[in-house]
Amino acid sequence: MTAMNQTHAYAALAQADPALARLVERYGTPDPFEFHDGGRTTGSRFAAMSLHILGQQISTTVAFVLYDRLRAATGDTPTAKSVLALGLDSIKALGTSRSKATSPINLAEQVSTGPLDIEHLDDHSDIEAVQALVAVKGIGIWSAEMFLIHQLNRPDVFPSGDVGLRNALQRLRQLPQVPSISRAEKLGRQWRPLRTYASSLLWHSLTAAEDD
């Protein structure tokens, strides 16, 4: 989406929802598709998904440490070939659990043998792309949705399973407790077809609140 269209997207959300309008006023119009990987994945979607996998249920800082070790072990930006050559035990030795170490191997196998053409999912619908990704053992819905946002630049993704997003949603709507995944999904439907932008505002509001 162009910068002008991005501005229009946030303007549409602000017009439709006064609560989001206040967030736009405070946090502006952040790029919802920006991938904060510090240049680690060098545009490789395989490498990006490897980072998403390693980041499941842990902090971003720890995920970067594990990914940097993986990159060092493969000698460059990880590829399906280099991950398979490294092997399960070597990936586990980088400091992760055996089950998590299996996930990059599963991804590499699916990419190498052809069922998953991870570099060319642009023609897939959101549902098709998610289904193709979660078919790989070890890739969860959260990782697939992060991939849709940051690698495929899809405008209408709302990762309701993200704890931070649900915490921000609780604050936005002044709910008595953090909404469940299903409740968050329902609440997010009002922002279709711009839920990625709404998600970005919610994440920014949470980060800013932590800095206050």
Which of helix, strand or coil describes residue 125?
coil
CA contacts within 13 A on the Cβ side of 170 = 14
pLDDT of residue 207: 76
pLDDT below 50 — which residues of the chain?
212
Distances (CA, A) of 82 to 40, 63, 112, 148: 16, 19, 11, 24
pLDDT at 41: 97
> What pLDDT does residue 81 have?
97
Q: Which two tokens mark 113?
A: 């043998």
In the block, which residue shows the tokens 């704890």? 163
Residue 212: what pLDDT? 46
* Cβ neighbours of residue 2 closer than 8 Å, sequence gap 6 or more: none
